[in-house]
């Protein structure tokens, strides 16, 4: 009888402890609004319009992904130099900014499945006799700081070569080419083609077989598997239902 009385007294306490413990191991829920970082100096992927809001291919893709996954986003223009640190510190939940997936970046952040294939292009004046990448030696070359274009040109000339002219954005480097301040620009094909198509007819592009294909991914903080899975599922869904193709056609024309 004493044992039964003890059980009746202790059992509610044990049950309450069990319920409390269960709640502490529940999956951490996502915030009501996720902050997306992007460097809006890379048209047509991301750029600022007249009212300072960000628009472009990447913006439309991440909005479609968010709509499909069922979460809200806030897009903040973030300089490329600080983009990855903002993700690591938690000030940004997602990055989408024509970010090439590579082994070094995968050490410090997690990437979605690829959503865009790119390759480097050389932009040159029509009169230029350059036909391949190695012929850029001795010329002034414009690149965006910290991009794949910067990496490949640094590999050719040496990182500290004074002929490498670095800019905060690829459009700035391309404008310098138009102004005659550099002899060539090396950058992603989507940006180069968009700029030349909308700004000038006095320039050409050269594709070098040494340039490897690249793939852009949506980045999240290392270990954020819950968010990454939602993004990947939504990416697959917008590709399957035709939404992605409509966005692609809007900015790059039909394949």
Residues 29 and 131: their CA atoms lie apart, in Å, by 54
Fold designation for 33-117+215-252: D-Maltodextrin-Binding Protein; domain 2 (3.40.190)
pLDDT at 24: 30
Task: Tell me 163's DSSP state.
Answer: T
Task: Tell me 133's DSSP state.
Answer: G
Q: How far is CA 138 from CA 50, 181, 187, 194, 209, in A?
A: 39, 14, 18, 27, 21
The CATH architecture one would assign to domain 120-206 is: 3-Layer(aba) Sandwich (3.40)
The phi and psi torsions of 229 (rounded to 5 degrees) equal -65, -40
Query: Is the pLDDT at 7 greater than 90, yes or no?
Result: no
pLDDT at 184: 98
Average pLDDT over residues 48-70: 96
175, two tokens: 């404008």
Contacts of residue 181, defined as CB under 8 A and 6 or more positions apart, other chains included, come to 140, 142, 165
How much is the mean pLDDT over the chain? Answer: 89
Q: How far is CA 108 from CA 62, 82, 216, 218, 251, in A?
A: 21, 14, 16, 13, 31
Contacts of residue 92, defined as CB under 8 A and 6 or more positions apart, other chains included, come to 35, 36, 37, 76, 78, 83, 86
Average pLDDT over residues 115-134: 96
Query: Is the pLDDT at 57 greater than 70, yes or no?
Result: yes
Average pLDDT over residues 242-249: 97
What pLDDT, in 10s, does the model give residues 183-225?
Answer: 999 999 999 998 888 877 889 999 999 999 999 999 999 999 9
User: Parallel, antiparallel, or unpaired: how do β-strands 214-216 and 94-95 relate?
Assistant: unpaired
Locate CATH 3.40.190.10 in the chain.
33-117+215-252, 120-206
Residues 111 and 130: their CA atoms lie apart, in Å, by 36
- Identify each DSSP E strand in the chain by its residue range: 33-38, 41-42, 46-48, 54-55, 72-77, 94-95, 109-111, 116-118, 120-125, 141-144, 164-167, 184-188, 203-206, 214-216, 219-221
What pLDDT, in 10s, does the model give residues 25-39?
Answer: 333 567 789 999 999
């Amino acid at each position: 009888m004493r044992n039964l009385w003890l059980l009746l007294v202790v059992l509610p306490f044990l049950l309450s402890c069990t319920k409390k413990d269960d709640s502490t191991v529940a999956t951490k829920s996502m915030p009501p609004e996720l902050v997306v970082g992007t460097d809006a100096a890379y048209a047509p992927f991301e750029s600022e319009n007249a009212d300072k809001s960000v628009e472009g291919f990447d913006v439309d893709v991440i909005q479609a992904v968010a709509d499909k996954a069922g979460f809200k986003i806030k897009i903040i223009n973030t300089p490329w130099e600080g983009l990855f640190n903002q993700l690591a510190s938690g000030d940004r939940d997602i990055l989408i900014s024509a970010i090439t997936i590579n082994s070094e970046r995968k050490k410090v952040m997690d990437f979605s499945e690829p959503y865009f294939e790119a390759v480097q292009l050389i932009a040159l004046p029509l009169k230029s006799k350059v036909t391949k990448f190695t012929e850029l030696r001795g010329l002034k070359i414009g690149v965006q700081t910290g991009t794949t274009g910067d990496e490949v040109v640094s590999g050719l000339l040496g990182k500290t070569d004074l002929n490498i002219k670095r800019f905060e954005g690829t459009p700035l480097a391309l404008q310098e080419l138009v102004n005659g301040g550099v002899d060539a620009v090396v950058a992603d094909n989507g940006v180069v083609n968009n700029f030349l198509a909308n700004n000038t007819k006095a320039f050409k592009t050269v594709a070098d077989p040494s340039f490897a294909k690249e793939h852009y991914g949506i980045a999240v903080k290392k270990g954020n598997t819950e968010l990454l899975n939602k993004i990947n599922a939504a990416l697959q869904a917008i590709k399957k239902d035709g939404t992605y193709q409509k966005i692609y056609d809007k900015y790059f024309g039909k394949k």
